[in-house]
Copies of this chain bind each other. A is one copy, B any other.
Amino acid sequence: MNSVWNGAGRRIHLQEVGTRDGLQAEDVFVPTEDKIALVDALSEAGLAKIEVTAFVSPKAIPALRDAEQVLREIRRAPGVIYSALVPNVRGAERAIESRADELNLVMSASESHNLSNLRMTREQSFAGLAEVARAARGAGVRVNISLSCSFGCPMEGEVPLSTVLDWCGRYVEELGAEGVTLCDTTGMAFPTHVAGLTRAFRDRWPGTELTLHFHNTRGMALSNVLASIDAGADRFDASFGGIGGCPYAPGASGNACTEEIAHALDLMGYDTGIDLPRLIAAAARLPGLIGHDIPSQIVKAGRRLDLHPRPGDFEEIRARALGR
C-alpha cells in the first residue's frame, strides 16, 4: 500500500518552534537555564531543526531577552539545525555572533496583516529581508523565509495562490533563500488548499527546502500535514505542548503540537526520528514553567498504547458473569 495513510518508512522532518514561537507569547520569563535545558531536551528528542529563540528588541519581547546566552550555551547535537528568528540586520548580526545555523525571516503574504503586525508594506519588508539575507550570505549562514498568512488572512480573507507563489519566487530567485516556510498563521488552511499549494511549490522549486507551519485553531493541523505529505512535502514546524501561535480566539489552539504530529506519524509508519517519551517529557515540563495548562492532547491522554489497569474488582465481575 503506497498511500499517504502508510508511511512505509518515509522520512519526515519535524522542526520545533516552541522555545521561540511558544515562549515569546508567555507573560512569564522562563529562566535562562530552563530554556537551555528545554532546547537540550528537544535536541535529544530527535527534532531535525529547532528555532531556539528570536533576536528582537528586549523591550518588545522581554521573554526572549536572553537570546544570546541561550543560543550560545545549548548543547548542539550533530545534524540538528539551530535557527533563530531575526527581524532586521541588527538581529541578524546578534544571531550570527551567537552561532545560529540559520536565520528565519518573516513577512506576510497579506498587505493588511503585514502592516498590522510589522508596520511596513510588504515591499518595505521585502527590502529589509534582502538586507538581512545579504548579511547572512556574507557570514555563510543559511536563510529561511517564513511567509505568514499563506493560506488566508484573518482580516482580508482569501490570499490568492498566485500571490503566495509570487513572493516565494522572489525569496528563492532574488534572495537565494535556502528555505521557505508557508505559515498558516491563524488556522485557515484546509487540506484541499494545502495539497494544491504544496504541489505548486514543489513543482516550481524542487531544490528549495519547503516547510509547512500549521496551526490547529480549527482542528485541521494533522490533516493538513497529511495532505501536504501526499503532495510532496516532508518538513513541518510544530510546537511542543502545542504552546504559542497567537490564537485569535481565546481558548482556541495555536501551533500544531509536535508530540501530537509525531505520535500520529509514527503510528502511520513514517520515520520522524523522534523519541516520543523524551519529547513528551519535555512538553510535560512546560506547565510548571509557564504557569498554565497546555493544549497537548498527548501529554493529557498519553500514547495510544499507554494502557489503563482493569477495574480492581475485575476478577469478581468475570466470575459473576461466568457463573450466570
Contact = CB atoms under 8 A, between A and B. Distances in A.
Contact of A230 (B5, B264, B300, B320): B5
Contacts of A314: 112, 115-116
Contacts of A307: 154-157
A72 B156 CA distance: 47
Given A223-B264, A310-B155, A218 B304 contact: yes
B300 A250 contact: yes
B115 A317 contact: yes
Contact of A195 (B5, B119, B221, B260): B5
A163 B178 CA distance: 51
A96 interface: no
A188 to B, nearest CB: 5
A305 interface: yes
A305 B124 CA distance: 27
Interface residues of A, number: 71
Contact of A260 (B115, B116, B219): B219
A195 B230 contact: no
A187 B303 CA distance: 10
**Most chain B beta-carbon neighbours within 10 Å: one of A152, A226, A260:** A226
A253 interface: yes
17 contacts: A116-B310, A116-B317, A119-B321, A120-B321, A124-B324, A154-B308, A155-B308, A155-B310, A157-B305, A191-B268, A192-B269, A217-B297, A218-B264, A218-B298, A218-B304, A219-B221, A219-B298
In the complex, the 6 A-B pairs of residues with the closest C-beta atoms, listed nearest first: A190-B267, A252-B301, A249-B301, A219-B260, A252-B300, A5-B195
